[in-house]
Structure 1
Amino acid sequence: MSDNKLKNELEAPPLGAGGITIIDYGAGNIQSIKFAVQRLGFEAVLTSDAEEIRAADKVIFPGVGEASSAMKMLKSTGLEKVIPTLKQPVLGICLGMQLMCDYCEEGDTTGLGIFDAQVVKFNNKLKVPQIGWNHIFDLKSELFEGINEKEYVYLVHSFYIPECEETIASTEYGVEYTSAIKKNNFYGVQFHPEKSSNAGEKILQNFLKIEG
């Protein structure tokens, strides 16, 4: 693919005055998400301020770390009450997606309850964490517009969401599991789009094009 063609495919979609907000609660990979958004032609605000988050056109909820510690950080700023009430498109990434579920086995953690799902640990017979490239399949929703079945994405995780009614993409690692999920205005991806080359940039672009 030529540089010009890629540039045209990743042309920045329009956003309103609220812009893009990345929830800053002390979890890892926040800067890499910001840089990925910049590559699409936008600036994103890193913030833990509830009013800024509510006013945004798009909200990204990233996360790398341990579930119970991350939930404590959210509670320290009151964001555990704010995030479930958001009305604009919200994208949870990796731990961010897992924290939007009802419960996570890691640290015996009660989540935000946005997705009616449980987060469980991979079988002990598997090498964990799963680190590296794996493919996604059974793609549904506008999040995967222009993405091929069995496209490869980058993952780093030891816990997963079993497939459920809200699953919009799956991955296989010992078991077929949820690699993307959607409910109303909330989206989640287990993989890291900011580390998933052209496919990851396209998925981020698709999210930014979703109408609130």
Structure 2
Amino acid sequence: MKRLFLVIFSISIISACSQSEKKLPILGEREAVEKIVDGKTVVDTVYKTIPDFSFLNQDSIVINSDSLTNSIYIADFFFTSCPSICPIMSKNMLSIYNKYKGNNEVRFLSYSIDPKHDTIPVLKKYATKLGVEGSQWSFLLGDRDTVYNLARNGYMSYTKENADAPGGVEHSGYFILVDKEKRIRGAYDGTDKTQVETLTNDIDILLAEYKTNK
């Protein structure tokens, strides 16, 4: 019995170590750059990062790249009058938000792709109805073209007007996980509970990665 306990205990330690050492991939474009380190030329990999941005949230607070310093975050694109996937996405994002509520190391950004309708009061009402308080989860309002370009060129996502689409706008339903260096570390179908669970697990892995590197 004692030997069995020691075997189980050893396996548990190995499993825990494996989990803590696991790292998420870095997604997106990359390029090799030469630099001089200690007088020697070395090749380093530079990954594409999310471009700087600045928007107002539901409380008329400016949220920009600097606002997210020392935080990882999950981003998505939505509009409050969306009759199709957005309500499902918001519900699933809420479940993640509730798990990390109060943890400023984890933030949430939902970019409105219908700024003509989604004014600050409309976004505030939407956030309040979900039970969101403070700026840990920000519902962002900005110029439509700026948001569309950020989705396409920053988050590897897409949004476009389409008269045949529900609500007149077609957009990606993905949740994008971004690290503290503004690099994309994962993309998950925000309407799929299994992928949302994977995202939650990956958030923990990413947080552990930063603790390991301290």
Please report the TM-score for the alignment, with normalisation by the length of structure 2.
0.30
Is the radius of gyration larger for structure 1 or structure 2?
2
Please report the TM-score for the alignment, with normalisation by the length of structure 1.
0.30
| Higher strand proportion | 1
Greater relative CO (CA pairs within 8 A, separation 6+): 2
